[in-house]
């Protein structure tokens, strides 16, 4: 057969019948679900999908655009299984596991791999990587793609079984999260999908419908050039998120916000809107969404070298803190003790993944008997010159590890904050200052870069907060 004709026939077949890129051998499907599988074939073509765990055949016909989708009933966790997709040809997916699938989204602090970025290490990574082989953890990276037109499919990629070779290049936060879930759920298979882009803003992960209440955010036309590949609104949604929306997941972990730090008031509304829109599009209800409060860092080091006022990233952390109460089925991991002044990529990612896993293990999987969350500001009561601060998630009390609390500030009606004396009394903190006779507001660790000194008795750091809205 002449090479030209062979090439034509190969390309025709490839276009005529293929699966979405996220469906490959070694994938994990969500247990006890109606898991969608989709692809493309010739318009009107009958497709048969056979799942080995129940020997069931599913019939579907490609629509006028050639797309087809079928939902397969998955059993309780187990495997390996295989899936056959028959149309013009047969595609067979092997070593398919049934378990718990989590989407890992965000920007560079979620994306940074176990091996680290160049000259930016991950603490303890070599030991973790060399021990990472695990047939019950499978990982998938969605390739980078920033485009102005929404895509049905992402660039090709492959699911991989956890091993040093592949874990080294996978999200450190995501891997540590999945590793602890796999351990505590007694080897239930874990599937992790990393869908991240360094430097990305929240609006880049949103579609026009999700941004309709934010007229100040300019949505690019299809013909526009992309000046900032990771921060142009809708472009990462188009190229990286939309192609996997609908893949059956248990929930999402998310680490992002650094690229929105200059607009904390907007982010306070934008972030919940993003999550709400993702949930609408996924069609799985309010699936669990656990996110990371950005770590303290000296943002004035970065162009355009803003400093002061609301360019203090504590305002963005506070927007994230407030979001917990307005986003259903959510939780926030606090990193006030692991930030680094000199790098925006804190190397201690095991703490990050572990704290996210605590939230999931307690709130999603119902494991009881351990304090899983950081103390979060709840209320302020003022009597005389003293303010009493109460917290959620502090039932077993607070601690400073027997060190002074140095990061509280207090203000009166003049809105001037002064360093305060702060003492722990069980589950509350008493705050005062000889300078402020009639206090009206308290702030804790409300600086760009800070190392927190208030913790729950569980050892998890309290979130920074402010009681004012100035």
Q: What is the mean pLDDT of residues 382-410?
A: 97
180: left (phi over 0), alpha (psi -120 to 50) or beta: alpha
pLDDT band per the 50, 70, 90 thresholds, residue 11: very low
Higher pLDDT, 1 or 135: 135
Q: What domains does the chain contain, in order, with CATH numbers?
A: 3-94 (2.60.40.10), 98-364 (3.40.50.1110), 376-466 (no CATH)
The pTM is what?
0.95
pLDDT in tens, 242-285: 999 999 999 999 999 999 999 999 999 999 999 999 999 999 99
Tokens 């308290």 found at = 442
Residue 77 corresponds to which tokens in the numbers above? 């966790």
CA–CA distance, 130 with 266 (Å, rounded to integer): 43
What pLDDT, on a 0 to 100 scale, did the predictor assign at position 457?
98
DSSP letter at 298? -
Buried b or exposed e, range 228-266, using 16+ CB within 10 angstroms:
ebbbbbbbbbbbbbbbbbbbbbbbbbbbbbbbbbbbbeb
The angle subtended at Cα 325 by Cα 438 and Cα 238, nearest 5°, is 130
pLDDT in tens, 211-250: 999 999 999 999 999 999 999 999 999 999 999 999 999 9
Residues 6+ apart with CB under 8 A from 368: 362
Is the model's pLDDT at 6 over the cut of 70?
no
pLDDT in tens, 438-459: 999 999 999 999 999 999 999 9
pLDDT band per the 50, 70, 90 thresholds, residue 8: very low
Is the model's pLDDT at 193 over the cut of 90?
yes
Is residue 74 within 8 Å of 81, Cβ to Cβ?
Answer: no
Is residue 143 within 8 Å of 197, Cβ to Cβ?
Answer: no
CA–CA distance, 237 with 119 (Å, rounded to integer): 30
Residue 357 corresponds to which tokens in the numbers above? 């896993």
Residue 83 corresponds to which tokens in the numbers above? 């899936």
Mean pLDDT of the chain: 95
pLDDT in tens, 307-365: 777 889 999 999 999 999 999 999 999 999 999 999 999 999 999 999 999 999 999 99
Residues 6+ apart with CB under 8 A from 464: 296, 314, 317, 318, 321, 336, 443, 444, 445, 446, 450, 452
Is residue 454 within 8 Å of 447, Cβ to Cβ?
Answer: no
What pLDDT, on a 0 to 100 scale, did the predictor assign at position 304?
81
CA–CA distance, 187 with 135 (Å, rounded to integer): 9
Dihedrals phi, psi of 121, to nearest 5 degrees: -80, 165
pLDDT band per the 50, 70, 90 thresholds, residue 16: low
50: left (phi over 0), alpha (psi -120 to 50) or beta: beta
H-helix segments, 164-210: 164-167, 172-184
Is residue 344 within 8 Å of 303, Cβ to Cβ?
Answer: no
Q: Which of 295, 306, 336, 298 is nearest to 448 (CA)?
A: 298
Four-residue CA torsion sign, 98, 100, 101, 107: negative
Residue 133 corresponds to which tokens in the numbers above? 């082989």
């Amino acid at each position: 057969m002449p090479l030209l004709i062979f090439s034509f026939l190969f390309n025709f077949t490839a276009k005529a019948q293929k699966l979405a890129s996220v469906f490959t051998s070694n994938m994990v499907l969500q247990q006890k679900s109606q898991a969608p599988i989709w692809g493309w074939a010739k318009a009107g073509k009958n497709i048969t999908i056979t799942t080995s765990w129940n020997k069931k055949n599913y019939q579907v016909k490609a629509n006028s655009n050639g797309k087809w989708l079928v939902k397969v009933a998955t059993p309780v966790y187990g495997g390996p299984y295989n899936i056959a997709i028959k149309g013009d040809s047969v595609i067979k997916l092997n070593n398919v596991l049934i378990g718990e699938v989590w989407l890992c989204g965000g920007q560079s602090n979620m994306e940074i791999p176990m091996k680290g970025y160049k000259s930016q290490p991950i603490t303890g990574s070599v030991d973790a990587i060399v021990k990472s082989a695990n047939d019950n953890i499978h990982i998938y990276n969605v390739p980078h793609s920033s485009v102005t037109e929404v895509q049905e499919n992402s660039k090709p990629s492959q699911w991989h079984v956890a091993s040093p070779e592949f874990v080294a290049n996978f999200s450190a936060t995501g891997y540590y999260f999945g590793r602890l879930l796999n351990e505590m759920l007694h080897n239930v298979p874990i599937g992790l999908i990393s869908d991240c882009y360094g430097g990305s803003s929240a609006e880049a992960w949103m579609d026009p419908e999700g941004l309709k209440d934010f007229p100040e955010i300019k949505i690019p036309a299809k013909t526009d050039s992309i000046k900032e590949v990771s921060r142009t609104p809708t472009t990462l949604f188009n190229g990286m998120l939309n192609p996997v929306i609908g893949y059956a997941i248990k929930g999402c972990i998310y680490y992002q916000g650094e690229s929105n730090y200059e607009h904390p008031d907007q982010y306070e509304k934008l972030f919940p809107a993003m999550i709400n829109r993702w949930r609408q599009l996924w069609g799985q209800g309010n699936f669990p969404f656990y996110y990371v409060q950005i770590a303290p860092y000296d943002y004035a080091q970065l162009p355009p070298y803003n400093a002061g006022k609301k360019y203090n990233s504590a305002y963005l952390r506070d927007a994230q803190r407030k979001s917990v109460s307005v986003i259903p089925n959510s939780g926030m991991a606090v990193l006030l003790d692991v930030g680094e002044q000199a790098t925006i990529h804190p190397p201690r990612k095991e703490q990050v993944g572990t704290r996210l896993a605590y939230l999931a293990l307690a709130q999603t999987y119902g494991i009881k008997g351990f304090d899983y969350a950081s103390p979060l500001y709840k209320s302020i009561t003022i009597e005389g010159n003293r303010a009493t601060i109460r917290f959620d998630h502090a039932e077993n009390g607070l601690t400073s590890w027997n060190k002074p609390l140095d990061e509280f500030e207090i203000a009166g009606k003049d809105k001037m904050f002064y360093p305060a004396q702060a003492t722990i009394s069980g589950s509350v903190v008493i705050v005062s200052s000889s300078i402020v006779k009639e206090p009206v507001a308290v702030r804790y660790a409300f600086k760009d870069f800070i190392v927190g000194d208030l913790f729950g008795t569980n050892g998890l750091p309290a979130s920074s907060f402010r009681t004012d809205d100035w």
